[in-house]
Structure 1
Amino acid sequence: MKLTAILALCAASLATMTDAYRIYNADTVNCRSSPSTGGSVVRTYKANDDVSLTCQISGENIKGNSLWDKTTHGCYVADYYVKTGSTGYVTGKCNNGGSPPTPPGGGGGGAAGPIKDDYPYPGQCSGIDPWRYFKCQCTSFVAWRINSRLGVKFHNHYKGPNWGNANTWDEAARKTGVPINNSPVPGCIAQTNSGSAGHVAWVAKVSGNSVTIEEYNYKRHKYGTRTVPKNSFNYIHIKR
């Protein structure tokens, strides 16, 4: 990987993040038995309460947002009232019964999902994402994919240590017991220490001695794909 391309990659991450999101936009918010105002009220949250999410699902449109968040209390809150930092998915989709999803990708060789730019912040590259990375960096894109496609609540302090820039993800993986090796599968993370900040990308496809990766900020904070030799990267298997 060229040094000139690396220099713009993966700015430093910020400090601590929790798995919780804050209730806002109302003094009190009902958490319901189904993703609609027709569902019975299971419990009530107050403004600034923290809630943790198990999955998200489409439901009744509330003030222009049809997404609903299932909390760890087993009920649904309209996403309009949960400050996730995004109007889209920040965790896995619930299945039809509203239970946490079976992740569609990951280290077991499952599908990595469609090859497309589904990153929730295209062209909105200022500020911090819900996973405590700078938006439009390679780390932010990969953190989004881990959450949205693997159903793993990954963030900058996943399992304790600071994962930081891309060039320290290999160290963080080893510290936390997350497998890292030279054997890519669709849905694992490609990682290199090359350059000033390293680089991480999403493995979309493996073919012979080549891998097809999806990435952000390889060139100017934008989405792109490349097919490169397998030995270009280490491979982190967040979901085994």
Structure 2
Amino acid sequence: MAVEEVESERAEVEAAAAYTIKRYPVAPGVRLNVRSGPGTNYQLVKVLQYGASVPINCQTPGETVTGPYGTSNIWDNIANGQFVSDAYVRTGSDGYVAIRCA
């Protein structure tokens, strides 16, 4: 392999790693409800199992919820049409850790 090919391949791997979405742990002992929107009045989509961790694609304001990690109106989008309250996700911050959902 030529040096240029190795450097190009390395740059592609580094670029892909930069777009990897970090996963955050759900509070211990919690089976977290996943909703279709940013509030408890939205349809229940599924329930996450104990010990789950979630990606945060984007975040949006919504219903204020109190959980193990405080009181927050931030909701985390974990997949298309799937939201969880940030009060149940250990992000290490009381604020936004991802872009705002469009």
What's the TM-score, normalizing by structure 1? 0.31
80 and 25 in structure 1: CA distance in 2 versus 1, 3 angstrom threshold: farther
Matched, 1:69 2:76: yes
Q: Give the CA deviation at 1:79.
A: 0.2
Could you say which residue in structure 1 is the equivalent of 2:45? 42
| Structure 2, unaligned runs of 5 or more | 1-20
Match runs of 1:216-227 below 5 Å: none
Task: Give aligned pairs, total.
Answer: 78
Structure that is richer in strand per residue? 2
Q: Give the CA deviation at 1:26.
A: 4.8
Identity between Structure 1 and Structure 2 (%): 33
Partner secondary structure for residue 80 of structure 1: helix
73 and 26 in structure 1: CA distance in 2 versus 1, 3 angstrom threshold: farther
In structure 2, distance between residues paired with 1:48 and 1:89: 22
Higher relative CO (Cα under 8 Å, sequence separation at least 6) belongs to: 2
For the aligned residue pairs, the C-alpha RMSD in angstroms reads 1.6
Matched, 1:56 2:63: no
45 and 73 in structure 1: CA distance in 2 versus 1, 3 angstrom threshold: farther
Partner secondary structure for residue 57 of structure 1: strand
Could you say which residue in structure 1 is the equivalent of 2:90? 83
Q: Give the CA deviation at 1:86.
A: 0.8
Which structure 1 residue ranges, 4+ long, deviate > 2 Å from structure 2?
Answer: none
In structure 2, distance between residues paired with 1:32 and 1:56: 14
What's the TM-score, normalizing by structure 2? 0.70
Could you say which residue in structure 2 is the equivalent of 1:24? 27
Structure that is richer in helix per residue? 2
